[in-house]
Amino acid sequence: MGIADSPEAVATAGATTSPRADPDLNHTLRRRPSAGTVAEFDSLNDLVRDSGVDDSVGAKIGGGGDNGRIGGSDGSAESVNAVQDKKGLGENDRAADPSAAKFTYRPSVPAHRRVKESPLSSDAIFRQSHAGLINLCIVVLVAVNSRLIIENLMKYGWLIKTGFWFSSRSLRDWPLFMCGLTLPIFPLAAFVVEKLVQQKCISEAAVVSLHIVITTTSILYPVVVILRCDSAVLFGVALMLFACIVWLKLVSYVHTNYDMRALHKAVEKGDATPSSLNTEYPHSNNLKNLAYFMVAPTLCYQTSYPRTACVRKGWVFRQLVKLIIFTGVMGFIVEQYINPIVKNSKHPLKGDWLYAIERVLKLSVPNLYVWLCMFYCFFHLWLNILAELLCFGDREFYKDWWNAKTVEEYWRMWNMPVHKWMVRHIYFPCLRHGVPKGVAIVIAFLVSAVFHELCIAVPCHIFKLWAFIGIMFQVPLVLITNYLQNKFRNSMVGNMIFWFIFCILGQPMCLLLYYHDLMNRKGKLD
């Protein structure tokens, strides 16, 4: 027996010669299937379609034309009936020969026609849908964590105290509360300075000096208040976050107005072409725009923002309910899981390394849950609620950072307000002044590290630079993951390194370090 050169030749030869050689067989193939064989037709059509046999091959198998095709181009039984009804054939004619189905897919037709990859192979895994696996992971997570919650409650009981949400000590934090209420004084002072320079009452050098004083005071003022008051750590962190946001907004407001003044002067001299931004500058800098910017979910100042048409009250209510639920979940995990683990652990740098690794790994899972809930509550729920109430249109507060293949991609995608601020007011100004790209990236990480240290070390009254070191450690990780991504294309090696270092090792380690240093400080004070 000869073998054809291609699968198509085999299919064509086997399909065209057999019916013509046997007239009775050709007569049998022309008969119509019964209604009882529709399911069999469907399975055969699926087999033909999966094997890559097209309609022309199917027609040749059946003797040519519509007589040999099972359901037309889409392989459905309805198409078979439509063709039969068109030729005037009824249900009795269709039930004439139930054995016709066995001739529709011949053994000589090739079952393997194309080069295909397995769905889980490295080349095809990211082109497949994994919805079923995601559902499986959700079911497993729910089952496993439900068991852990029940086991924890049976072993330790209900550990959440009534003072978690409110206690008598919270009333002693009124200096921090008053400090937060007085922070809007600094944007107002910056606005007065901008109005003075617009009216040419002060020089540019005086404007720069005054703005440096205002912005520096806006960040040092809360630091002094927190350090002088023995307040709760949670309230101190909230105040420092608020102060850092005010500082970032002030820098953007000042830097943008400085650039707009420079462009306006260039247009007046004829060195630049006028634009809508240049022509609106003196009038657009008003108190209303500044007030909107200070409460808007953005850190980059501009005279106008994309706006939505209305406020969806029902949508806002649903997001608020979600915010309350996930905030309660965070509180439950912190009080029921994280606090007992941290209290029962030793200092990770002053003991058995194997024990420290076990504590970090045990702490990593609840810490990861809290961090993910925090991200969802703040970046998705709260910022979207604020944007909806203010009709703020640009709501790209984050991107798909969970798919980041390098650490650099993660830092570009997970916090878009800060990333846009860094690019606008740190990175590109450095490049315009001739700073190399690598140095500009290091400067951006340095600024981020300083503010991370302020937000954690100041409320804890501990200056061990753990947060600063953790952020600056991202610089070599950026280089490592970029190298791995360039070497292994289309891989997720960098993503795995990010998840392991950042969420499994980094955050739990920092939490243990700051907790034990805080407990040691309180022990010395007592």
Which residues have a catalytic role annotated?
452
For 412, residues 6+ apart whose C-beta sits below 8 A from its C-beta are 399, 404, 419
Question: By C-alpha distance, which of 141, 149, 35, 54 is closest to 93?
Answer: 35
- d(CA 486, CA 230) in angstroms, rounded, equals 50
CA angle 415, 418, 422 (to 5 degrees): 130
First to last CA, the chain: 97
Q: 461: how many CB neighbours lie within 10 A of its CB?
A: 17
Sign of the dihedral defined by the CA atoms of residues 119, 125, 131, 134, in that order:
positive
Place of tokens 């961090």: 371
Q: Six-digit token pair at 392? A: 């703020």
Q: Could you tell me the two tokens for 62?
A: 């059946």
| 418's tokens | 């800060």
Q: How far apart, in whole angstroms, are the C-alpha atoms of residue 366 and residue 338?
A: 7
Distances in whole angstroms, Cα of residue 159 to Cα of each of 152, 164, 330, 338: 10, 10, 14, 11
Closest C-alpha among 267, 252, 342, 353 to residue 305: 252
Q: How many CA atoms lie within 13 A of 234 on its CB side?
A: 8
Bridge partners, 392 (sequence order) = 307
List C-alpha distances in Å: 77 to 72, 73, 236, 470: 9, 11, 70, 64
Instruction: Tell me if residue 360 falls in helix, strand or coil.
Output: helix
Distance CA(487)–CA(258), nearest Å, equals 44
Distance CA 407, CA 390 (A): 33
Ramachandran region, residue 75 (left: φ > 0; alpha: ψ -120 to 50; beta: rest): left
Q: What is the DSSP letter of 128?
A: S
